Amino acid sequence: MWLRIVALTAAVLLAGKIGYREMMYRWGTGEVIVATYKARALKACARDAAAQRVRLPASAWSEPEDIDIVIGQPNLRVFFWHVRDALWKARYLNPYLHIRPRGAERFVLCEYDIVNATASVHRL
């Protein structure tokens, strides 16, 4: 009986350690990717916002409200089993930065595609 309890406790502690290390690795990797591509993404978002005539304050892109890294683009209509589709990597593998500018009159989101180095500004 005691051996089962010790084995179960060891298994739970091992699973917790592996889970914690995986979480810290992913958090650190995300922070490095954001820091690496932040300047390029902000410039591309400012250019695309100006091209679409989205009115924002001058400081909107210099200090964004929020930057998140997202893997895949969920609004593409590609199913997981369609691996030969040209958009499959964009849907499930490519990293994107979602940037919310500070001080926007309306809800504005810039999506920066890291692989293709393109930005698109959307009004929500």
Q: Which residues contact 64 (CB under 8 A, 6 or more apart)?
A: 42, 99, 100, 101, 102
DSSP E strands, 16-107: 66-71, 95-100
Average pLDDT along the chain = 86
Q: Token match 């995300």: residue?
A: 30
Provide the pLDDT confidence category of residue 64 given band limits of 50, 70 and 90. Answer: confident
| Average pLDDT of the residues in 14-40 | 90
**pTM of the prediction?**
0.74
The side-by-side arrangement of strands in the sheet containing 95-100 is: 66-71, 95-100, 108-113, 118-123
Whole-angstrom distance, CA of residue 59 vs CA of residue 51:
17
The residue to which tokens 């959307």 are assigned: 122
Q: Are 60 and 102 in contact (CB under 8 A)?
A: yes
The better pLDDT of the pair 10, 89 is held by 10
Statement: residue 31 has pLDDT above 90: no
Q: What is the mean pLDDT of residues 14-38?
A: 90
Residue type present at position 60: A
